[in-house]
A and B are shown apart, each in its own frame.
Chain A
């Protein structure tokens, strides 16, 4: 089955810095990827997605990069704010309506 891993369990940054959260996946057939954010005491929340026919997708202050050759994706957060402090999960979702497979997540801590 699919295995999803994140490179670092924790990432600490200063407010205003850019953050990069990495994610590796094992199934080369995965064609769709989603990033979720989970703030303390809340359920996961969708941030951004990317399809395998894209290398890059930008949202509001977030950019996701996909490198299919090495089966790696990253989430970049520009001008990180204290409100970005959360656990970030990447999840490959090859078919709509199937369960999400989350890795352990990366905990982002933003200090001001």
Chain B
């Protein structure tokens, strides 16, 4: 168990809909990352938050957005869903990156999104 929790575990929804994925990082971790994993694209970085602020953006679509709350949990919002958005969405967390104590990211179990 990595200590990172994600809900829901599975999500089935229709095209055009909007969903919210939730992530709670490990206790004490300030940095949260979101990744998308599909069969044809592998694991792709979407966005990173650090202590409530957006730190880096990857291949995140404009239809997607995220935020990190004061209690450090994070939500990934996916809107106007398309069939191609079907994928596993992982959240990962790490300690304060500026402390240099660890490069390791701890991944949650993922949310499997199916868009029909």
> Which range contains the number of A residues in contact with the other chain?
20 to 34
Q: A32-B103, A99-B33 are in contact. Are A105 and B42 (CB under 8 A)?
A: yes
In contact, A34 and B2 (Cβ under 8 angstroms): no
Q: Which residues of A contact B56 (CB under 8 A)?
A: 98-99
In the assembled complex, A96 has its CB within 8 A of some CB on chain B: yes
In contact, B98 and A102 (Cβ under 8 angstroms): no
- Alpha-carbon distance between A89 and B107 when the two chains are bound, in angstroms: 14
In the assembled complex, B94 has its CB within 8 A of some CB on chain A: yes
In the assembled complex, A54 has its CB within 8 A of some CB on chain B: no
In contact, B90 and A44 (Cβ under 8 angstroms): yes
In contact, A99 and B42 (Cβ under 8 angstroms): no
In contact, B58 and A49 (Cβ under 8 angstroms): no
In contact, B109 and A34 (Cβ under 8 angstroms): no
Nearest B residue to A100 by beta-carbon distance?
Answer: B105
Q: Which residues of A contact B48 (CB under 8 A)?
A: 97-99
In the assembled complex, A42 has its CB within 8 A of some CB on chain B: yes
- Alpha-carbon distance between A103 and B110 when the two chains are bound, in angstroms: 19
Q: A34-B104, A97-B97, A99-B48 are in contact. Are A43 and B90 (CB under 8 A)?
A: yes
Instruction: Give A24-56 as 1s and 0s: 1 = Cβ < 8 Å from B's Cβ atoms.
Output: 000000001010000001111110010000000
Which of A34, A98, A105: most chain B CB closer than 10 A?
A98
- Alpha-carbon distance between A105 and B44 when the two chains are bound, in angstroms: 12
In the assembled complex, A104 has its CB within 8 A of some CB on chain B: yes
In contact, A96 and B109 (Cβ under 8 angstroms): no
Within the complex, which residue of A32, A89, A95, A97 is in contact with B43, where a contact is CB–CB below 8 Å?
Answer: A89
- Alpha-carbon distance between A42 and B45 when the two chains are bound, in angstroms: 17
Within the complex, which residue of A34, A41, A96, A102 is in contact with B100, where a contact is CB–CB below 8 Å?
Answer: A96
Shortest Cβ gap from B111 to chain A (Å): 11
Instruction: Give A53-77 as 1s and 0s: 1 = Cβ < 8 Å from B's Cβ atoms.
Output: 0000000000000000000000000
Within the complex, which residue of B33, B102, B107 is in contact with A45, where a contact is CB–CB below 8 Å?
Answer: B107
In the assembled complex, B108 has its CB within 8 A of some CB on chain A: yes
In contact, A46 and B43 (Cβ under 8 angstroms): no
Shortest Cβ gap from A27 to chain B (Å): 16
